[in-house]
Structure 1
Amino acid sequence: MHEIQGRQIAMPVEIRKARVASAMWAVPARTAQSVIGYSGLRVLRPAPGLAVCTLAFIEYIDGDLGPYHEFAVAFLVEGEGEGVSPVGAFIHWLPVDGGFTLEAGRTIWGFPKVITHLPIDWTGPQRAAVHEKGALAVSLQVKPGLPVPAGAGSTTVDAYSCIDGATRRTPWVMNPSGVRMRPGGATVLLGPHPVAEDLRRLGLDRLPALTTTTVSHLRMTFEDAVPLG
């Protein structure tokens, strides 16, 4: 149990309905490692010299932390800890547009949440733009693909985070439905922002995405974070 702004938050935190659009890129592993080096984690290298970077935007519609928008910059990493999955997702940057989820995310899980202006447009090509201090930091546009047959159910992923020098691992369960995928289909615009510079060095404004994915209904649970080290 955690107390955030006078509210008791029971674990695991449940997200009963969200929708998501994301895109995935193959990027230079050496550059990706330099971006996340502060975490002490190692990027996963699915092919020699390559790592995987993902951008995603999420609308949380019904959940324990209330409704809000979120944008994520993440990398696939090697799992850390005995008996954990060999592949995890390191959350490098996590802008949100709500104060309650900001405090909950940073306090409970150590997620690198920051407050931004974050409009999302779900019509036609789906688009989100992150603004800080009135200036564009990054925007992502995704073209929906073809329907994907329903899978086997839930997927468990270890989400890793690092703020204030502390790296944590959070068990994260996802149950998606209404999934569409396609090769390519993403457009990225980058502004004058430190994280945008990371993405520019990785080539996300120049390289084609490997795949784009949209999920019309996503249920999730987040367990307590486990400190590493």
Structure 2
Amino acid sequence: MSTAADVHVIRGERVALPVRVRDAAVASATFAVPAGPAQNLIAYSGLAVARPLPGRAVCSLAFVRYSDGDLGRYHEFAVAFLVRSPGASGGRLTRVAAFIHWLPVDQEFTLDAGRSIWGFPKVLADIPMHLTSRIKRCAVRFDGRTAIELAVKPGLPVPTGLPGGRAAPRLDAYSCLDGVTRRIPWTVSPSRLRLRPGGARVRLGDHPVADELRALGLPRAPALSSGVIPHMTMAFDAAEEVTA
């Protein structure tokens, strides 16, 4: 049973934590980008980018169609960076998380919920998405002007089942809004994952985030990998303010 602290009122509707997503489809691509510029870009969060290779950070672009969940049906696009969890030492990837730098959505309810409950940097945009064709495509547009387009080719099937019936892994996502950095515990359970090296095409338009990605070498830099998940369930727990 949810306590009063676990319930938020968004546009007159009660939203209880954890917020659950019962069906979502995801396409994503990861890129190796210069660590120095990436660190400068997310310096406002107080977090440090992970550096899996000398001088390189990891930037991920993803689009998600939420078909069934506590926040309704909507489309979302994400620009995220792999970061070291606060307190992690050295450059090892033993404690890493996803820092969400930019998160357009196409519905106002999830916009308000994401910003007020977790401090996610959600903004309202038009996000046309095509997930039924072989190549998965998405665009983010503001007032008819394209900020970014991403196309992802599916790869080979990858097993996603957990042996012994173990629970879905709990990850950490980080957000920073209005100068406050937060940690959000996040549980994901993907099925029918397909991965491949490369396999993504990015087109950047006229938008500040597009300029930020250009400064990191996109769209010239090839994707390290791309992936498609036709079905995923998720759960988002309460955010916790952190001192990064």
TM-score (norm 1): 0.97
CA contact (8 A) 1:178 1:217 kept: yes
CA-to-aligned-CA distance 1:28-76 (integer Å, 9 cap, x gap): 0001001101111100011110100000000000000000000000000
Match of 1:149 among 150, 156, 159: 159
Give the equivalent residue in structure 2 for 1:42: 48
Equivalent positions of 1:1-229 (< 5 A) are 1-80=7-86, 86-122=95-131, 123-152=133-162, 154-229=168-243
Structure 2 unmatched ranges of 5 or more: 1-6, 89-93
SS of 2:49's equivalent in the other structure is: coil
Deviation at 1:5, TM superposition (A): 0.6
Larger radius of gyration: 2
Report the AA paired with residue 202 of structure 1: L
Secondary structure at the aligned position of 2:117 is classed as: helix
Contact 1:69 1:118 in 2 (8 A): yes
Q: Give SS of 1:100's match.
A: helix
Distance 2:85 2:182 in 1: 11
- Name the Cα RMSD after superposition: 1.1
Amino acid at match of 1:103: D
CA contact (8 A) 1:78 1:87 kept: yes
Letter in 1 for 2:12: G
* Deviation for aligned residue 1:81: 5.4
Which residue type is aligned with residue 181 of structure 2?
A: T
Runs of 4+ in 1 over 3 A off after TM superposition: none
1:134 Cα deviation (Å)? 1.4
Count of aligned residue pairs for this structure pair: 227
Alpha-carbon distance in structure 2 between the residues aligned to 1:196 and 1:155: 32
Rounded to whole Å, the distance in 2 between the matches of 1:155 and 1:199 is 30
Q: Which runs of 5+ in 1 are unaligned?
A: none
Shift in CA distance, 223/81, structure 1 to aligned 2, threshold 3 Å: farther
